[in-house]
């Protein structure tokens, strides 16, 4: 469901206790806010409650007074709130290598307004995609990787991310394994995309390996990165059936399409504040 342009987003989570839904919805009612979308989930295994509400503000809405009252209302529940104003656009940095399909797709979705974000920089270890970024009038930073000085290259990457003011980093087929140190810094606010094939084909030409095994499904997984780069909390996955008539080039083409769609879906969930981290899992409302 796409967000209406005039709506605020309220998200909160807390321990599972009686009255959590009432604490949020009654406060919105008392403030004269009209709820347009509401989702909540209580995880009985982790003992945590999650809620996301979109609402329209009344006349004379005072954001700071609303925030102060909300904090006071939720304090007894141990609630942590986030309030996102209408028409908010997230600042994003995209990291790429040579493959252009995910970058091209994301920049197009930004340009037509499907993804409410501002890509403030593209960072790459190769120069190949600079023309694409420049066409969209986005700064492109080529930071070649010296195997003898990976620490120095990642230091420059981190400095660019910090200087950009980015709230989200997207690894749109960035074909380098990030160091544990950089993964820790980006934990929970960087999204990676990669193919999902069974068996789990590793190394060069995974789709060619998949063809040799006669796979019947190809897919993609978008997830937050952490110290286990390809094993972070999953946000979205996509899958499509294939058969014996699909040659390696056909599997690659399908894989590209699924990667684009899955990554865009995950980014949309993130910037619309639909994703909550719940230990090493996600709750997507």
- What is the Cα–Cα distance from 143 to 154, expressed in whole angstroms? 9
Instruction: Report the DSSP pairing between strands 140-142 and 117-124.
Output: parallel
Strand partners, 11: 52, 82
Tokens of 16: 């599972």
Number of neighbouring beta carbons within 10 Å of residue 210: 24
146 catalytic, yes or no? no
> 98: phi > 0 → left, psi -120 to 50 → alpha, else beta; which?
alpha
Neighbouring residues of 202: CB distance < 8 A, sequence distance ≥ 6: none
Q: In the chain, which ranges are continuous DSSP H helix?
A: 20-30, 63-75, 101-111, 130-135, 150-164, 180-186, 206-213, 248-271
Distance CA 261, CA 238 (A): 8
Which one-letter DSSP state was computed for residue 141?
Answer: E
- Whether 156 and 143 have beta carbons less than 8 Å apart is answered as yes
User: Which residue of the set 6, 146, 228, 230 is catalytic?
Assistant: 230
Gap between the Cα atoms of 84 and 9, Å rounded? 5
C-alpha–C-alpha distance, residues 253 and 275, integer Å:
29
Distance CA(65)–CA(72), nearest Å, equals 11
Residues designated catalytic: 230
């Amino acid at each position: 469901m796409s967000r209406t342009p005039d709506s605020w987003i309220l998200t909160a989570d807390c321990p599972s206790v009686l009255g959590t839904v009432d604490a949020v919805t009654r406060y919105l009612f008392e403030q004269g806010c009209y709820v347009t979308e509401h989702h909540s989930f209580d995880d009985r295994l982790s003992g945590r409650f999650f809620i996301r509400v979109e609402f329209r503000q009344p006349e004379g809405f005072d954001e700071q007074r609303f925030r102060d009252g909300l904090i006071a209302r939720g304090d007894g529940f141990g609630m942590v709130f986030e309030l996102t104003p209408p028409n908010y656009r997230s600042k994003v940095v995209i990291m790429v290598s040579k493959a252009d399909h995910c970058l091209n797709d994301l920049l197009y979705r930004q340009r037509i307004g499907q993804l409410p974000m501002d890509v403030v920089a593209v960072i790459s270890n190769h120069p190949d995609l600079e023309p694409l970024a420049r066409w969209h009038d986005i700064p492109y930073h080529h930071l070649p990787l010296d195997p003898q000085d990976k620490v120095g290259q990642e230091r420059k990457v981190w400095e660019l991310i910090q200087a950009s003011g980015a709230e989200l980093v997207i690894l749109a087929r960035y074909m380098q394994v990030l160091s544990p140190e950089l993964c820790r810094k980006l934990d929970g606010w960087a999204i990676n995309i990669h193919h999902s094939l069974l068996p789990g084909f590793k190394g060069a030409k995974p789709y060619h390996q998949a063809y040799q095994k006669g796979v019947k499904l190809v897919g993609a997984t978008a997830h937050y990165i952490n110290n286990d780069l390809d094993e972070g909390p999953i946000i979205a996955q996509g899958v499509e059936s294939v058969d014996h008539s699909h040659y390696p080039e056909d599997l690659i083409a399908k894989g590209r399409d699924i990667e684009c769609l899955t990554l865009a879906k995950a980014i949309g969930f993130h910037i619309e504040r639909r994703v909550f981290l719940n230990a090493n899992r996600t709750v997507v409302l």
